[in-house]
Amino acid sequence: MSQKPVKPHGGDIYGATEEYGWDRNEILDYSANINPLGVPEELKELIISSLDGLVHYPDTECRALKKAISAYMKVPEECIIVGNGETEIIFLLFEVLQPSKVLIPAPTFSEYAEAARRYGAEITYFELKQEDGFRLDFTKLIEQFEEGVDAVVLCNPNNPTSTLIPKKELEKLIRSARDKNVKVVIDEAFIELTEGDNSNSTADLVGEYENLFILRAFTKIFAIPGLRLGYGIGDFSLVKRMWDKKLPWSVNSMASCVGEYLGNSREYLKASAMWLKAEKSPFVSELCRIHGIQVFLPEANFILLKLTDERLTSEKLCGEMAKRGVLIRDASNFKYLDDSFVRIAIKDRESNSRFIKTLREVVERDD
Amino acid sequence: MSQKPVKPHGGDIYGATEEYGWDRNEILDYSANINPLGVPEELKELIISSLDGLVHYPDTECRALKKAISAYMKVPEECIIVGNGETEIIFLLFEVLQPSKVLIPAPTFSEYAEAARRYGAEITYFELKQEDGFRLDFTKLIEQFEEGVDAVVLCNPNNPTSTLIPKKELEKLIRSARDKNVKVVIDEAFIELTEGDNSNSTADLVGEYENLFILRAFTKIFAIPGLRLGYGIGDFSLVKRMWDKKLPWSVNSMASCVGEYLGNSREYLKASAMWLKAEKSPFVSELCRIHGIQVFLPEANFILLKLTDERLTSEKLCGEMAKRGVLIRDASNFKYLDDSFVRIAIKDRESNSRFIKTLREVVERDD
C-alpha cells in the first residue's frame, strides 16, 4: 500500500486512473455523492447552445442566475449570492464575517474549518457521538453558545454521517442562536437528495432570522461537479458585503445555463426522488447483510460505514476496492472518525450490485 | 445620461442589453479586447464531448492542463499554477506574497492594486506620461526600487495604453529588481495578440530569475472569457505555496478542454496573427482620419483614444455609442486618465467599418 496521505476529498478519479490504470469511464466512483441520473439532457443542450457566447465575459452580477434561483427557492434576489461552486461561497462568507470563534459539530465536511481558520477564527468542535448514530444533541450544542461563539456551522444533511436535522429542531436552534448573537450557517448541499427535498430546507426562514445563512449548490442534485455552481442565501446586507468582496467573473458562462434550466427541472427532480426512494432501501439492506461492516442508516444519498473487523483498515479497503475499479471515500481524516470508517455513495441498481459484489469480495474474503 | 459610476471593467453586455434594449447578438462589443475569430471550432467540439464528464469533480491539481501548458510555454510543470481566470491567480499571488509596498506603473489594469491592497499592501503608482505615448521610463522606474518596494507589477502589453515593453529592456529591469530584492510581476494576458506573439514573453526567464512571476490567460487569444482559464508561471517554490493556498476545484472541467486543444492550436494562432496584421493598420488609419480624437498607436489588439473636443466626454461618447449598439470602454477611471479617454478593441473588417461609421457619426456630428 502507498503511504500517501488520505485525500482531503472524494471524487479524485484523475489520481485513481493514474495510479491503477483504469479507464475513466470504467471506474465506479462511489467516493463522490453525485446524482447517478447524470447531467440533465436539457442542461447539456443549453450548454451546447451557449458555446458561441463564451466570447463574452460572464455577467459579474449573475443577474439571470439570481433571478432563476430566486424563483426556485422562493427567496428575494437580493438575499442570493452565486459562486464558483459552494467552496467559493464558504470562503467568501468567512472572509466577510471574520468570526473569532466558530463552533462546528463533527465529523463533518472539512472546508468550514479550513475557511474559518484562514480568516483568523479559532475552531471549537462539538463531537457527534457514534453511540447516538452521530445525531446532534441540541441542548448540549446550545449550551456551547455561551462561550463567546460567533458562529456555528451545521451541515444538513451532514456529510459524512448522512443524518438530517428536523426543521423544527433547527428553527429552535436558530432562535436560541439569534438571542445569543450567534450566526447559524447551514450547508444544504445535499438537501434535494433527502426524502422531502426542499421542504427540509430552512431557506424560507432567512427573512425572519438575520443570523441565518444557507450554503447551497447544484453540484449534487444535477450531477455537475465539473461545472462549478454554488450559491448562498442570507440577510441582504451580509449578501451585499459578500458581492462587494467577490472576485469578478468567478462564475463561468456555462454555469449560468443552470439558471435557464431550473424552470424546466421538475421532471428530473421527480425522477431523482423516485430513484432514491427505489434504490436506497434495498442497497442499505444488502450492505447490512455483509459481515464485517456496520451501516449507519442514511437520510441522504450517501452512507457512512464502519469496518468492524480490525484486520481491515479504511486505507486497505479503499486500495483493494480501487484495484477492482471502485472508488470509495476513506473517511479516516474526518474529525472524530478513525481508520475504521469509509463513506460510499448510492447509485443506480446495476452499479449498486457491482459495488456490493466487489465489497463482499474484499471484506468477507478472510472469513 | 445616467449618473451611474463608471463600470470597473469592459465587456458588460448584460447591463447594456438591459439598459438599451439591444439583443445580445446585435451588439458590437468594442469594450472587451477579445480575438474576433471567436471560440475555436475544435475547442467547442472538445467541450461538447466533455459534457458527460461534468459528473466528475474537476482535477484539483489540473494535471492535464499543467502538462499541456508546459508543452505550449516550454516551462516545467512545477512552475505553473492554473486558475479560474487570471483574476484568481492575481489575488492568490498577493495573498501568498503579502508584500508591504507595491509599485505599479499606471494607467493600467486596476485589479493588481485591488488585489495587493486586499492583502495589506501600500500602492505606489509610477506615472506613465501621456507626452511619452505612455511608454515606460526604465531608469526612473528602477530608481523607485530603492524605497522599500517589495514588488513591481507590469502589464505587457499594457492595458489600456496598448504599449509593449521590449524584452531586452525588461530583462535588464528584472535583473536590477533581483539585485534589490524586488519581485517583478508581468501580466502577459494579451501577449499572443502582439506582433511577435510569445517571442515577446519573458516566461523563458523564469528559470533564471527567481523574482519573476508571469500572469497569463487564454481568455483573449482563444476568445473564451466565459470559460474562465488563467495561469501563472514562476519560481516553483512560490508556485507550490500558491497551490497550497488555492481553493479546490476552482477550474471547471470544460476549461481543461483548452489543454487538449492547445496542441492543435497552431492554425488558429496563425490565423489570428494574420487577422491582426491585416486589420490593425487600416483600422488605425481610419481612426486617425476622424476629427476630434487622438489615437495612441497600438502594439496589441486594442487602442487608447483621447477625445480632443472638450464638448465630448468619455461618458457621453460611451452612452451615444451604446444607443447605437456599440459598446466601448470608458477609460476615465484608469489612474492618471480622465474623462477624455476611451479604449476600443480591434475586430474583423466588417465590424471595424460599422464601428468607424458609428464613431464618426457621434464624434463629428457637431463639426
Beta carbons of A225 and B54 less than 8 Å apart: yes
For cell 493556498, what's the residue?
Answer: B245
Beta carbons of B14 and A59 less than 8 Å apart: yes
Name chain A contacts of B46, Cβ cutoff 8 Å.
none
Name chain A contacts of B60, Cβ cutoff 8 Å.
9, 12
Is the minimum CB–CB distance between A39 and chain B shorter than 8 Å? Answer: yes
Give the closest of A29, A48, A54 to B224, CB-based: A54
In single-letter form, the type of residue at position B324 comes to: R
How many whole angstroms separate alpha carbon A87 and alpha carbon A84?
7
B10 — pLDDT class (breaks 50, 70, 90) = confident
Beta carbons of A252 and B250 less than 8 Å apart: no
Beta carbons of A56 and B248 less than 8 Å apart: no
Check pLDDT > 80 for residue A156.
yes
pLDDT reported for residue B3: 41
Is the minimum CB–CB distance between B1 and chain A shorter than 8 Å? Answer: no
Residue pair A1/A304 in contact by the 8 Å Cβ criterion: no
A218 — pLDDT class (breaks 50, 70, 90) = very high
pLDDT reported for residue A7: 64
pLDDT reported for residue B5: 56
Residue pair A83/A251 in contact by the 8 Å Cβ criterion: yes
Query: Is the interface score ipTM higher than 0.85?
Result: yes
For B131, which DSSP code?
G
How many whole angstroms separate alpha carbon B18 and alpha carbon A124?
47
Beta carbons of A60 and B223 less than 8 Å apart: no
**What does the pLDDT look like over B325-365, one tens digit per residue?**
999 999 999 999 999 999 999 999 999 999 999 999 999 87
**What does the pLDDT look like over B45-97, one tens digit per residue?**
999 999 999 999 999 999 999 999 999 999 999 999 999 999 999 999 999 99
Quick count: other Cβ atoms within 10 Å of Cβ B93? 29
Q: What percent of chain A has pLDDT over 90?
A: 90
Phi and psi angles of residue A88, each rounded to the nearest 5 degrees, phi first: -60, -40
Is the minimum CB–CB distance between A85 and chain B shorter than 8 Å? Answer: yes
* Mutate which: A51, A62, A95, A119, vs B, most B CBs within 10 A: A51
How many whole angstroms separate alpha carbon B249 and alpha carbon A214?
21
Q: Tell me the pTM.
A: 0.93
Check pLDDT > 80 for residue A29.
yes
H-assigned helices in B158-265? 167-179, 236-245, 257-262
How many whole angstroms separate alpha carbon B47 and alpha carbon B44?
5
**What does the pLDDT look like over B256-276, one tens digit per residue?**
999 999 999 999 999 999 999
A6 — pLDDT class (breaks 50, 70, 90) = low
Beta carbons of B253 and A227 less than 8 Å apart: yes
B74 to A265, B63, B71, B185: CA distances (angstroms): 45, 16, 5, 19
Nearest alpha-carbon partner for A164 in A206, A193, A139: A193
Chain B residues 160-219 within an 8 A CB cutoff of chain A: none
Query: Number of CB pairs < 8 Å for A and B?
Result: 158
Tell me the mean pLDDT in the region A98-118. Answer: 97
Is the minimum CB–CB distance between A248 and chain B shorter than 8 Å? Answer: yes
pLDDT reported for residue B316: 96
Phi and psi angles of residue A282, each rounded to the nearest 5 degrees, phi first: -60, -35
CA angle A182, A187, A190 (to 5 degrees): 160
**What does the pLDDT look like over A31-64, one tens digit per residue?**
999 999 999 999 999 999 999 999 999 999 999 9
Beta carbons of A56 and B225 less than 8 Å apart: yes
Beta carbons of A54 and B248 less than 8 Å apart: no
pLDDT reported for residue A75: 97
Within 8 A by CB and 6+ apart from A145, the residues are A103, A152, A176, A177, A180, A182
Query: B106 is written with which cell numbers?
Result: 499606471
Give the closest of B8, B52, B247 to A91, CB-based: B247
Nearest alpha-carbon partner for B230 in B216, B213, B245, B249: B216
Name chain B contacts of A224, Cβ cutoff 8 Å.
54-55
Handedness of CA B139, B142, B146, B152 (dihedral sign): positive
First to last CA, chain B: 22
A19 — pLDDT class (breaks 50, 70, 90) = confident
How many whole angstroms separate alpha carbon B165 and alpha carbon A239?
42
Calculate the CA B226 to chain-centre distance.
Answer: 15
A367 — pLDDT class (breaks 50, 70, 90) = low
A3 — pLDDT class (breaks 50, 70, 90) = very low
Check pLDDT > 50 for residue A1.
no
Give the closest of A44, A48, A56 to B11, CB-based: A56
Which of the two residues, B189 and B19, has the higher pLDDT score?
A: B189
Query: A56 is written with which cell numbers?
Result: 463574452
Give the closest of B38, B59, B223 to A14, CB-based: B59
